[in-house]
Amino acid sequence: MDQELQEIYDKLQKMDLDELIGEVNKTKTKFLVVCGGVASGIGKGITISSIASLLQRAGSRVSLIKIDPYLNQDAGTMSPFEHGECYVLNDGGEVDLDLGNYERFLEVNFTKDHNITSGKVYDDVLRGERAGNYLGKTVQFIPHVTNKIKERILRVSQIPIDGTLLPPEICLIEIGGTVGDQESIFFYETIRQLKNDVKDVLVILIAYVPKIKDEYKTKPSQNAIRNMNQLGLNPNIVVLRSQQEIDEHSLRKVAAYSNLQESEVINIPDKKILFEVPYVIAKAMLIQTIQSRFNLPIKLSDLYVYKCFCRHLQIIEELPKIQICIVGKYITFKDAYLSIIKAFEVAGFALTVSLKLCWVESIQLEDDFVKDEETKLQAEKAWEIIKSSKGIFIPGGYGNRGFRGKIKAAQYARENKIPCFGVCFGFQAMVIEYAINVLGIADAYSEEHEDKFPSKNHIIKLLPDTSLDILGGTMRLGTKKTIISDKSSLAYKMYQKSEIFERHRHRYEFNKDYLEQYEKTGFKFSGVDETGIRYSVFEFQNHPFYFGTQFHPEFNNKYTKPCPTYCAFLASAAGKLEDNLKKNNGLFKISLLDAFPDEKKNIANNIV
């Protein structure tokens, strides 16, 4: 955070609730609150991201806040099986994966304060009570908890995020879960109060319309609208989600029930291509409806980028598939790898490569996995996928389970010259595999697994400034500098910079005591931090592509700014890497010009 932005941030932190209300009314920031009805997982995150992006492309400065009603302070200690990916921000915030959607769509960087949880709010209130801030009053949900929620919303709504140092004109707020959830009730009450404190607050309800016996049923959506009304929040706009397009009669029925104009009830059916969603919203004139409600000038959104994405993705879909195998621990819940999936999708778009992601559970590759005929078949299928893939990707993770399977996958890729890319836990597995099978360190392992696999050679060791007693927020988190000094390295050829900034999330690191043994055999650590002792990039020179990063490059992926690492890995798997390097004087260059027609090459050049 630069100095001017830090000064704004510090000023906001010192304001009390009344001052924040005054500041928001002074800047005339408008609030667009998005709630869910009927069911969770119906695409609120994509919908709100699309609306925000369209408002941005119509010339408005926008920001987003995600409210999660759970009692965890953040997503850092939550199981990927239960909550999906833990997304990491520049400032080290461990947040809900929806903020990843926000960042990819808007191409801005949020702060940890943009994710409000019940855990954070209650912690604020209880700390205030212990400090005597409530002057002996009985601390209650109303007004103390709701006031604290308002403080957080209003404060965050004024944080500039687009580089202008100006507060957002429109702040969109997504409330997690569905209307009627007990844990959300005080957030809805806060929004009701907020409508009395600031001038412009609109409420959008996104509700799911199920199809039963070839007929769409709107009654669940009507019930969700009634629940909103009972909370004192009459929806200003209703978005109906469905599998296919809903008939006009059903839309009119919901509009009549909601006391809304027909233009204020729209339908977003499922779309094969993500970027069709903004098109549907734009076609329904929803942005103009919002602008009119907020008394803003009516402006059309620039749909050029979405148009190019949709057209180019349709072209790519017809090409032969390049199969990439992802060897992970949490593959039964793909949201655990959402940013990775998006990074590959953007890489495929940039390279004009049609991608097929196949998944292997790493534990199925371990020697002792086979116990009976069923597990034998599972193991055989896993190895079939590995052997039929053009590239092997080993993602992050934690814990003993499946780690040896990741090592097996790395060994197969190295020995068979298959492009292999490891991130975080994958980086560590590839490093350990090399120590065991090439350097001859038979008991090489990670200090993380010392309880189950004792070793005298911890190739991966605990970071000295982390904690095993308190797990939440104690890892190496957020954006850190990595120095790439060797301009002949693959890392430099990909980034074309001597200093790069990527996001980290790890508690363990490579043990530099073993550095010399690796580098003698062509296994080079090409990226190191400013201290010269923390190595975050390796590359094996006697291989088409055997590369690892301790950081997570996928967290910096934007839809028009692909990750160099993912692109280079996919280029190698598709047989395009060497040609790219030769064509660009030894550097790996990514261009989106194929996706953007000649008449707007300047836009495409600015995007790249």
Cα–Cα distance, 400 to 340 (Å, whole number): 22
Confidence class for position 605, pLDDT limits 50, 70, 90: very low
CA angle 584–590–596, rounded 5-degree value: 120
β-pairing, 94-95 with 87-88?
Answer: antiparallel
Spatial strand order of the sheet with 62-68 comes to: 115-117, 62-68, 170-175, 30-37, 201-208, 237-242, 265-269
What's at 100, amino acid-wise? G
Res 473: pLDDT? 63
Percent of the chain with pLDDT over 90: 71
* pLDDT per position as a tens digit, 221-237: 999 999 999 999 999 99
> Given the structure tokens 């050679």, which residue do they identify?
457
Residue 199 has pLDDT above 80, yes or no: yes
pLDDT in tens, 44-90: 899 999 999 999 999 999 999 999 999 998 888 888 888 889 999 99
Which residues contact residue 369 at a Cβ distance below 8 angstroms, ignoring those fewer than 6 apart? 363, 375, 378, 379, 405
**How far apart (Å, rounded) are the C-alpha atoms in residues 120 and 149?**
9
213/155: higher pLDDT = 155
- Give catalytic status of residue 554 as yes or no: yes
Q: Which of 424, 504, 539, 563 is catalytic?
A: 424
Mean pLDDT, all residues of the chain: 91
Neighbours of 513 (CB within 10 A): 11
Whether residue 552 lies in the annotated active site: yes
Condensed to tens digits (0 to 9), the pLDDT of residues 472-524 reads 667 889 999 999 999 999 999 999 999 999 999 999 999 999 999 999 999 99
Report if pTM > 0.85. yes
Residues 151, 554, 563, 567: which is the catalytic one? Answer: 554
Amino acid at 498: S
Report how far residue 27's alpha carbon sits from residue 35's, in angstroms, rounded to the nearest whole number.
Answer: 25
- What is the pLDDT confidence band of residue 594, given thresholds at 50, 70 and 90? low
Identify the CA nearest to 30 among candidates 302, 289, 266, 290.
Answer: 290
Round the CA-based radius of gyration of the chain to a whole number and report it. Answer: 25
At the fourth CATH level, the homologous superfamily of domain 3-302 is P-loop containing nucleotide triphosphate hydrolases (3.40.50.300)
Q: Tell me what pLDDT residue 603 has.
A: 41
Domain boundaries, the chain: 3-302, 309-576
The answer for residues whose C-beta is within 8 angstroms of residue 80's C-beta and 6 or more apart is 86, 330, 333, 335, 336
- Terminal-to-terminal C-alpha distance of the chain: 24
Return d(Cα 402, Cα 395) in angstroms, integer.
12
Nearest to 353 by CA among 419, 409, 413: 419
* Domain 3-302 identical in fold to domain 309-576: yes
CATH superfamily of 309-576: Class I glutamine amidotransferase (GATase) domain (3.40.50.880)
Q: What is the pLDDT of residues 272-303, one digit of tens each?
A: 888 899 999 999 999 999 999 999 999 988 88
The string of pLDDT tens digits covering residues 83-141 is 889 999 999 999 999 999 999 999 999 999 999 999 999 999 999 999 999 888 999 99
Please check the confidence at residue 447 and state whether its pLDDT lies above 60. Answer: yes
User: Which range is least confidently modeled, 218-232, 338-352, 477-491, 591-605?
Assistant: 591-605
Query: What's the confidence (pLDDT) of residue 602?
Result: 46
Model confidence at 607, pLDDT cuts 50, 70, 90, reads very low
The 3-class secondary structure across 277-322, one letter per residue, is HHHHHHHCCHHHHHHHHCCCCCCCCCCHHHHHHHHHHHHHHCCCEE
Write down the residue that tokens 């790249």 correspond to. 608
The residue with greater pLDDT, 371 or 492, is 492
Name the pLDDT band for 469 (thresholds 50, 70, 90).
low
Q: Quote the pLDDT of residue 40.
A: 81
Question: Which entry of 144, 552, 563, 567 is annotated as an active-site residue?
Answer: 552
Is the CB of residue 552 less than 8 Å from the CB of residue 424?
A: yes
pLDDT at 1 over 80: no
Distance of CA 455 to the CA centre of its chain: 35
Contact, 62 vs 292, CB < 8 A? no
Do 304 and 52 contact (CB within 8 A), yes or no? no
Q: Look-up: residue for tokens 């030769």? A: 582
Lowest mean pLDDT among 122-136, 143-157, 246-260, 469-483: 469-483
